[in-house]
Structure 1
Amino acid sequence: MSKRVAAKYKINRRLGVNLWGRPKSPLNRRDYGPGQHGQRRKGKTSDFGTQLMAKQKLKGYYGNIGEKQFRRYFAEANRRKGDTGENLVGILECRLAAVVYRAKFVPTVFGARQFVNHGHVTVNGKKVNIPSYMVKEGDVIEVKEKSRQIPMVLEAIDSVEREVPEYISVDTKAMKATFVRVPELADVPYPVQMEPNLIIEFYSR
C-alpha cells in the first residue's frame, strides 16, 4: 500500500472534517487528530492557520494533490479572467480523476486516481492514463469494456451514497459520461464547506 493511500484515513481526522462525507470515515469514531498528540486541546486558530486549513481541505479532497501542482492550478486560475476562486474550483473539477469520481465509476477519489493510472478509461475513444488530464466541455469519458466488471466499479455504480452532479451526464448502462460544462463553486457537491477565497488570501501573503 502506498504512503498516499495509507495516509488518506488520517486526512479527515487531521483536518477535523468528514471531507468526503463517507459513513465509514474514522472521524465518525474518533473526532480528534491522529497521533499521540491528537487529543490535545486546540487554541484559537490564527488567520494564517484558517487559510492553510482551507487550502489543505481543497487539496485533500481531490486526492491530496501535491503543493507544487496545486500552486500551478492556482496560478492558472489567477491568470484567467473572472473570480480566481471559482476558476480554481473549475480547474480542479476538470481533472480526469475528478470526472471519473463524479460520474460514480469508482467509490473514492483515490480509487479514481488509481483507476485512470491503470488505463481503465478512455477520453473520446482514446486511452488516457493521466489523472490530472484536463477534460474539456463535450468530452466523452468511458470505462473500457474489459474493465466494467471490476468489483470496485460495480460497487460505485450501485451506491446511493452520492449523486452525479448536473454538469456531468452519465449513461450508467454504457458506463459513459459526458462532461457538459465547467461548474461553478455552488454546483459542486462538496460534503463540507470549501472556501477558495481563503486560499487566495493564503497565496497573496
Structure 2
Amino acid sequence: MSKRQSTKYKIDRRMGENIWGRPKSPVNRRQYGPGQHGQRRKGKMSDFGLQLRAKQKLKGYYGDVREKQFRKIYEEAARRKGDTSENLIGLLESRLDAVVYRAKFVPTIFAARQFVNHGHVNVNGRRTNIQSYQCKPGDVIEVREKSKQLTIVLEAVGLAERDVPDYIEVDHNKMVATYRRIPGLHDVPYPVQMEPNLVVEFYSR
C-alpha cells in the first residue's frame, strides 16, 4: 500500500532512532545517518539543533507531514487553551490517518495516509478521504465493506509489534473503531521519546 518505504527508513536513519519501533528498521543494524558522511562523529548539538531535531522527528513520525501543514497544526495548538505541547499531540493524534494507524487497520502511518486518500474509510457512516480530517471524541471510523478483506488490512490486524491505545476502542471483527477521547503526551505509545515542548520552543523563537 505504501510506496514511501525508502523515505520512511531514511527518516529513521537521519534521526538515528527507530521512531516507529519497526523490526525492519535499518537503525537496528546501523545506528548512523545515511550517506557518505553518516558515520562522522557528531559534536554537541545547539539548542536550535535540538529543537529542529525534535520537530523533524515528530513531523516524520506522522508520515513526514509537510512543513506548511505542520506549522498550521502548531498555530492551532497555540491558539487553544491549555498546554500548547499537549494540544499539539492531541491535534496530531486526532488526524484521521493517525486514528486509522492506531486502530491497526494498516501497518504503517504512511499506509494509513494512502488508505484514507484512496477512500477506504468511513467516518460516522460517510466516506472520508482527507488524511488531515480532525476526528472528535465519539466519532466512529470504519473500514468500508469492500476494503475489509484487503491483504494489508488483514496483515495489520495480526501485527504483534504494537497495541491499540486505550483512547481508541476497536472491533477488528467488524473493522470499526471509536475515537473515545483526545490523548495527552503520556497516553500515546511512542516507541521513542517525543519532545513536543522543544517543538513549541522552535516555533516560538
Query: Is TM (by shorter chain) over 0.5?
Result: yes
> 1: distance between equivalents of 2:13 and 2:156?
24
> What is residue 66 of structure 2 aligned with on the other side?
66
TM-superposed CA distance for 1:4, in Å, is 4.8
The residue matched to 1:92 in structure 2 has which SS? helix
> What is residue 57 of structure 2 aligned with on the other side?
57
> What is residue 91 of structure 1 aligned with on the other side?
91
TM-superposed CA distance for 1:6, in Å, is 3.2
TM-superposed CA distance for 1:159, in Å, is 1.2
> 1: distance between equivalents of 2:30 and 2:130?
35
> What is residue 124 of structure 1 aligned with on the other side?
124
Decide whether aligned partners of structure 1 residues 4 and 155 sit closer, same or farther in structure 2, where only a CA change above 3 A counts: closer
Q: Which runs of 5+ in 2 are unaligned?
A: none
> 1: distance between equivalents of 2:165 and 2:104?
10
Partner letter of residue 172 of structure 2?
T
> What is residue 48 of structure 1 aligned with on the other side?
48
Give the alignment's TM-score, normalised by structure 2: 0.97
Partner letter of residue 164 of structure 2?
V
TM-superposed CA distance for 1:163, in Å, is 0.4
CA deviation vs aligned residue, 1:124-152 (integer Å, no higher than 9, x gap): 01000111111111000000111111111
In the comparison of the two structures, how many residue pairs are matched? Answer: 205
Where has structure 1 moved over 4 Å in runs of 4 or more?
1-5
Give the alignment's TM-score, normalised by structure 1: 0.97
> 2: distance between equivalents of 1:27 and 1:158?
24
The residue matched to 1:170 in structure 2 has which SS? strand
> What is residue 176 of structure 2 aligned with on the other side?
176
> 2: distance between equivalents of 1:71 and 1:3?
25
> 2: distance between equivalents of 1:3 and 1:29?
22
The residue matched to 1:155 in structure 2 has which SS? helix
